[in-house]
Amino acid sequence: MRRRLLADRLFEECQELYRRLHAEGINTELVEAYALARDAYEESVLDFGRAREMLEEVFTRTIDLAATS
C-alpha cells in the first residue's frame, strides 16, 4: 500500500510541475525538476508492479500448499 501511495504522490508532483511548465514557460531548472520527478514516478510504478508480482507469487504458493495438504 505504501508503494501505491508513493506512486500517487509522485504523480501529483509530476502534474504540478507540468502545469508550472505551461504556466511559467519553459526554463532549464523546471524542465530538469520535471524530468527527475517523472523518472522517480516511473520507478515507483515499476516498484509497485514488482511488489504486486511478488505478492501474487506468495499467495499462489500458499494456495498451492493448502490444496496439497
The structural domains of the chain, with segments of one domain joined by +, span 2-68
Residue 45 to residue 53: CA distance in whole angstroms: 12
Predicted pLDDT at 5: 93
Query: Consecutive 10-residue runs of the chain (69 residues): their mean pLDDT?
Result: 91 98 95 98 95 89 75
pLDDT at 29: 97
Looking at residue 13, what is its pLDDT?
98
**Cα(10)–Cα(20) distance, rounded to whole angstroms?**
15
pTM, rounded to two decimals: 0.78
Res 63: pLDDT:
78
